[in-house]
Structure 1
């Protein structure tokens, strides 16, 4: 299996579940890989999969593996135990950006908030900047929280697109420790019958 294109005969304009806030890597994957679908955000992987089972959405795009850290948990286990059909999968490059409110600088930033999986992809980069990692429920959710706080000592680690969504300044691109940082996303649907 490779890619998450629209299967032959499938109508355009469905709904695709993802975990996270708008601007998250999973949201970005939905926009780029399923542009004909409406991306629908859920706070947890459980909630995204439950929405698929309930028929609120027709598919879900879930990250299950990362080239730097291995399995993305709890997502990988939830997918394996779900009984859902894996339609396809695709590896996507993951580029982490350090973002903060306008006027902040690398000198003013003391903490960087993000999903634990994202933080595990850039510990050396954060350490070299003297920035403390702070876990949050989601990459884009962290960006939203940093934007709302407006504190120049707080930054987020998230996709560059999140800086646009939440009106933040990017202080550093390519924060990931590995230049070949990639995540495998699986496209899931309900079983037939």
Structure 2
């Protein structure tokens, strides 16, 4: 049975994504993202599932840095619809709840609910599923948590209000990562992720980006991250669509003329949104 490392507790959205991508897997929770990558590199886990960006909150910057630093490759991606629920101990009613705890990003995505329930105080916590685990361990009947349906199931808690997020178009994109040597070529791959840096000369970034247009590839995303210890120098992370492997190779070869570093992070099939 495949072992998949995630950052966070059982019942987190990463746990949900891991089971969506590999339903029969054994999930290994890790406290820190760096521990997730280390577990796969050491062989303690067969794969990792990490969030890379949220449609409302944006990219997970730390995970871009870790992708560059480690010899892991993107094998698959998934889009998970983020549904936030108010969760409490069994038997607790909404009128009894004095505070709601969760990860700050989850709390920020439920402002409308708190505006409609001003008596409930907002309390930041380190993790969505961890907040459910905490109120269950403490048997705290005055507190509720905001987390997934899976978190309520994992810890034996009850959903008081479902789907309380402000915006239903709330998705997180997850990557399924494995060690480089274990990732087989995907004949149906239509998307490439890569990291690159350009020479510090005028026009080099423009020239590099022009490559994608010249090759007829669709650049779907670009992010920049600072280079550690080298102020005002950047690594760029890009996703582009490809029609075939030959087209992807041509784009990467042409890109080499303008880049001081290129690292292909993975070729995989683009995910579709879960409804």
Measured against the shorter chain, the TM-score band is 0.7 to 0.9
Cα 1:70/1:142, change in 2 over 3 Å: same
Matched, 1:16 2:4: yes
Give the deviation of 1:67 after TM superposition.
1.0
The answer to whether residue 96 in structure 2 is matched with residue 119 in structure 1 is no
| Contact 2:17–2:78 (CA under 8 A) maintained in structure 1 | no
The 1:154/1:74 distance shift into structure 2, 3 A limit, reads farther
1:66 matched to 2:66: no
| 2:105 is the counterpart of 1:105 | no
1:144-159 equivalent positions in 2, closer than 5 A = 144-159=133-148
Shift of 1:107: 2.0
Whether 2:33 is the aligned partner of 1:45: answer yes
- Structure 1 length-normalised TM: 0.85
For this pair of structures, how many residues does the alignment match?
Answer: 181
**Which has the larger displacement, 91-100 or 81-90?**
81-90
Q: Is the 8 A contact 1:65 1:76 kept in 2?
A: no
Pair 1:134–1:82, CA change in 2 (3 A): farther
1:64-116 CA deviation, whole Å, 9 max, x = no partner?
Answer: 11111111353344334434211121111111111011232222212211123
Task: Decide whether the 8 Å contact of 1:69 with 1:120 is kept in 2.
Answer: no
- Per the alignment, residue 95 of structure 1 pairs with 83
8 Å Cα contact 1:93/1:183 also seen in 2: yes
1:132 paired with 2:117, answer no
Considering Cα pairs closer than 8 Å and 6+ residues apart, tell me whether 1 or 2 has the greater RCO.
1
**Coordinate RMSD, CA, aligned:** 1.9
8 Å CA contact 1:17–1:42 kept in 2: the answer is yes
Are 1:169 and 2:169 matched, yes or no?
no
Conserved in 2, the CA contact under 8 Å of 1:16 and 1:39?
yes
Instruction: Report the CA distance between 1:128 and its aligned residue.
Output: 2.5
TM-score (norm 2): 0.61
Match of 1:28 in 2: 16
1:188 lines up with 2:177 in the alignment: yes
**Larger deviation, residues 64-73 vs 76-85:** 76-85
Moved more, 127-136 or 170-179: 127-136
Q: Is the 8 A contact 1:72 1:117 kept in 2?
A: no
Residue 106 of structure 1 contacts residue 129 of structure 1 at CA under 8 Å; is this kept in 2? no
Which segment is superposed worse, 17-26 or 28-37? 28-37
State which structure, 1 or 2, has the greater radius of gyration over its C-alpha atoms. 2
Instruction: Extract unaligned runs of 5+ from structure 2.
Output: 183-275
Q: 2:158 and 2:143 mapped to 1: Cα distance?
A: 12
- The alpha-carbon deviation at position 43 of structure 1 amounts to 1.5
| Post-superposition offset of 1:162 | 1.3
Q: Deviation at 1:124?
A: 2.8
